Amino acid sequence: MSLRKVAVVGAGMTRFVRRAQETGKELAFEAAKMALDSCELTLDDVDGVALGTAPEAFDGVHMKGEYLSDGAGAWRKPVMRCYVGGGTGVFTPIQGWYHVASGLFDVCLVVCEEKMSSCQPHPQGAFLTIFDHTTERPLKPNLLWIFALEMNRYMHRHGLQKKDIARVSVKNKRNAADHPCALLGDPNITVEDVLNSEVLAWPVQRLDVSPVTDGAVALVLAGENVAKRITDDPVWIKGVGWSLDTAYWTNRDLYYPKYVEYAARMAYEMAGIREPRKEIHIVEPYDPFDYKELHHLEGLLLADKGDAPRLTAEGVTARTGSMPVCPSGGLLGVGNPIAAAGLMKVAEIFWQLRGEAGKRQVPGRPITGLAQAWGDLMQVGTVVILGIGG
Amino acid sequence: MTDKIKEFPGTALRESDFTDQKVLFTEWTPKAQYAWDAGVAIGRFLAELKAGRIIGTRCYHCRRTVVPPRIVCEWCFRPMDEWVYLQDEGTVNTFSITYVHWDMVRVKEPIIPAVIEIAGASKGMGIMHLLGEVDPEDVKIGMRVKAVWKPEAERTGAITDIKYFKPVA
Amino acid sequence: MSLLERVNKNTEIRHWRGEIPIHSRYTCGVAGEKFFREIKDNARLLGAHCPACQYTYVPPTLFCERCFARLEDWVEVGSEGVVESFTVLHISLDGTPLDEPDVLALIQLDGADSVLVHRLGDVSVDELRIGMRVKAVFEPRRKRKGSILDIRHFAPLES
């Protein structure tokens, strides 16, 4: 399979805020403009746009892709919009990747945006539609139920306690204190704070959850020769993977995300990675809830089943540890604008590998990083592996 | 690059900016009303619930009996081979103790949603429902529960024809 | 069982009724906030001009969609303009007949390159012509809220 090599050459993002004044278009523009400026490209240099944004319900705008398109630099250009729940943030760059890898496009702008604050009284109302309308919604469910049910199962299978999991929230919110765009960075938060926070849907407590957020992120992708003309520091997309499990979530054992494993294997194979635990230097798994980071680390085969909590407790996943996880601060610390959150993680790996992450910079010379997102009814795994050199 | 940028874009507003009319805004409530077809499989599932029974379907190829029933096996993509009546008892696979509604309004009495593996179906085949007549402290993964049905006259062919599942003594 | 299992009575297939409870609250945005405040406070219409593309957007936008420049040149466009197209509505959104027909038009204000959608009023259906000149009729100050409806309608200049 002869595919062209593709690099990330620029990135940009807005602050992640609870309720933005900017319209969705303006958020998308700010991120896209910053990404283009960061590699000194103009709109004329962009051949196509990959746009990721959640269903219309959040922003409250029908045909949202079309609505956002001008802000995403897509005026009179080929655009493709995609959505796989929270997995979108890593799925959209995959879509951008095959635009360029196919040889059809030289430069592709990847934009992800979400303005959840428009959804009143609470964006959870839009999430209700995730449940089956006939067999589940009459029970008046709540999005927190699915996470609580999964978290409980995970804890039960591995004999874990809340404090084993709360450490992730503490690590990420503290990491986020160094992210200039973060909504919930907190340099002083402790495990006690998390364990004492309000119980929403046991075992889920308030500080286990990431917040409703508005924000946008953008990347610029370029094909091999073009990338080398644009920048001396291209960050190559080494591998991509994506996989979707069944929507019959009550027919699966939720303690282990098989779909993340399948996506990871696809990406590892493409990247030629045989020993992920040695070859992946920075990991940004999706962390809308603290237990999810652990769940996903295991699905990514970076930790044995049930062992991720120990790695956290022992500091292996700290920024200065041997396998830093979520040095950005993750969704728990930076924020969770559904489609944009995953792209924030890809952007973080990009900045880290270039040594541009400022106070969040992971020490040493990391060469390869992995970003992963999850979404839908505990269903989708999307993985992108980035690397420098070669 | 994040270290080179001084000020990231994005203007944060407070809820009071809206209530105090410091920013201009408009509001809209769409009329999104639906009549979803239950389909062949769930249509039968609902009819059986009205009759006080839980039904599933079986794939001979995968040797799997599933609930909620479907007409195609998503593993092998063949049509399901037969309908199978299941028991109205099962085992708790996982549960949660919930104190909030979807709009984040608090509730006084906790709600206990659970995934219940239905006896008679293959292992791991569960449905989501509620637990009742049980103290939250006594709920355990693995406990055996049985459906508590609405009286026949009140059943309409809905998942709520089962009020909740309660522990089997 | 076959894939298309025969169902003899369509009352055997049930349906489930429900709705999706969404209520949306839209900010005007950074550009929109300025535009609507100017209408509310001063009954003036503003546009944003892109010097590179020589294009003036009304309503004004934060950026030029053609070249992605951040727009800083805000200009006052008049409240008069030309009707580029119009339509006469006889039924309302839910399908019931309107007592009086409603007229919607695309209006290119003097100085703007884009067109604005709004109502035409103080005009009979026979008088409607593409190319006719119209002027904005604003609500009195105390009734203006910072909304596009602060313009009650556009009325013909000739009459």
Q: For residue C140, say if its preceding peptide bond is cis, omega within 30 degrees of 0.
A: no
Cβ-nearest to B38 among C2, C16, C145: C16
Identify the residue with better confidence: C106 or A54.
C106
In the DSSP assignment, the letter for residue C98 is E
Predicted TM-score (pTM) of the model is 0.94
Instruction: Tell me which residue of C106, A242, A12 sits closest to B1, measured CA to CA.
Output: A12
Spatial distance between the Cα atoms of A10 and A346, rounded to a whole number of angstroms = 11
Q: CA distances (Å), C157 to each of A138, A157, C82, C127, C131, in order?
A: 58, 77, 10, 12, 12
- pLDDT beneath 70, residues of chain A: 1-2, 390
What are the chain C neighbours of B30 within 8 Å (beta carbons)?
A: 22, 24
Going from the N-terminus, what domains does chain A have, and what CATH number goes with each? 6-120+211-387 (3.40.47.10)
Please give the average per-residue pLDDT across C29-34, as a whole number.
96
Cβ-nearest to A129 among C20, C25, C27: C20
CA dihedral C33, C34, C39, C41 (to 10 degrees): 100
Spatial distance between the Cα atoms of A242 and A224, rounded to a whole number of angstroms = 23
Please give the average per-residue pLDDT across B76-81, as a whole number.
94
Identify the residue with better confidence: C130 or A122.
C130
pLDDT at C115 over 80: yes
pLDDT, position B101: 85
pLDDT at C1 over 60: no
Instruction: Tell me which residue of C123, C114, C132 sits closest to C45, measured CA to CA.
Output: C114
What are the chain B neighbours of A328 within 8 Å (beta carbons)?
A: none
Q: Treating both helix axes as pointing N-terminal to C-terminal, what angle do A143-158 and A290-299 enclose, rounded to 10 degrees?
A: 60
Q: How confident is the model at residue C17 (pLDDT cuts 50, 70, 90)?
A: confident
Identify the residue with better confidence: B4 or B138.
B138
pLDDT, position B32: 81
Residues whose CB is less than 8 angstroms from the CB of residue A363 and which lie 6 or more positions away in sequence, other chains included = A319, A320
Helix (H, G, I), strand (E, B) or coil at C136: strand
Contact state of C20 with A125 under an 8 Å Cβ cutoff: yes
Helix (H, G, I), strand (E, B) or coil at A381: strand
- Beta strands A214-223 and C151-156, pairing class: unpaired
**How buried is A287 (Cβ within 10 angstroms: 0-12 exposed, 13-18 middle, 19+ buried)?**
buried
Q: Which tokens belong to A375?
A: 């979404």
pLDDT, position C108: 97
Max CA distance (Å), chain B: 70
Contact C68, A42 (CB under 8 A): yes
Spatial distance between the Cα atoms of B99 and A198, rounded to a whole number of angstroms = 9
Spatial distance between the Cα atoms of A180 and C18, rounded to a whole number of angstroms = 43
Give the amino acid at A332: L
DSSP A175-220: HHTT-TT-SS--TT--HHHHHHSPEEEETEEGGGBPPB-EEEEEEE
What is the count of residue pairs from A and C with beta carbons less than 8 Å apart?
78
Residues whose CB is less than 8 angstroms from the CB of residue B46 and which lie 6 or more positions away in sequence, other chains included = A134, B38, B157, B158, B159, C14
Cβ-nearest to B38 among C5, C14, C23: C14
Mutate to test the interface with C, among B14, B19, B25, B82 (most CBs of C within 10 A): B25
Contact state of B43 with C32 under an 8 Å Cβ cutoff: no
pLDDT, position A67: 92
pLDDT, position A300: 97
Contact state of A60 with C27 under an 8 Å Cβ cutoff: no
Residue pLDDT, tens place only, B5-45: 878 999 999 999 999 999 999 999 988 888 888 888 999 99
Instruction: Tell me which residue of A370, A358, A361 sits closest to A281, measured CA to CA.
Output: A370
Q: Is A142 on the interface with C (CB under 8 A)?
A: no
Instruction: Tell me which residue of A379, A153, A140 sits closest to B92, measured CA to CA.
Output: A153
User: What is the C-alpha radius of gyration for chain C, rounded to an integer number of angstroms?
Assistant: 22
Residue C73's CB is within 10 A of a number of other CB atoms, namely 12
What are the chain A neighbours of B156 within 8 Å (beta carbons)?
A: none
Q: Is B47 on the interface with C (CB under 8 A)?
A: yes
Q: Which tokens belong to A36?
A: 């283009």
Spatial distance between the Cα atoms of C36 and A118, rounded to a whole number of angstroms = 19
Contact state of A11 with B95 under an 8 Å Cβ cutoff: no
- Domain ranges in chain C are 29-156
Cβ-nearest to B159 among A34, A138, A142: A138
Spatial distance between the Cα atoms of A200 and A198, rounded to a whole number of angstroms = 6
- Domain ranges in chain B are 39-167
Spatial distance between the Cα atoms of C132 and B16, rounded to a whole number of angstroms = 45
Q: Which has the minimum average pLDDT: A160-169, B95-104, C141-150?
A: B95-104
Q: Is C33 on the interface with B (CB under 8 A)?
A: yes
Spatial distance between the Cα atoms of A88 and A296, rounded to a whole number of angstroms = 16
Answer yes or no: CATH 2.40.50.100 is held by domain C29-156: no
* Chains interfacing with A (3 or more CB pairs < 8 Å): B, C
What are the chain A neighbours of C27 within 8 Å (beta carbons)?
A: 19-23, 118
pLDDT, position C131: 95
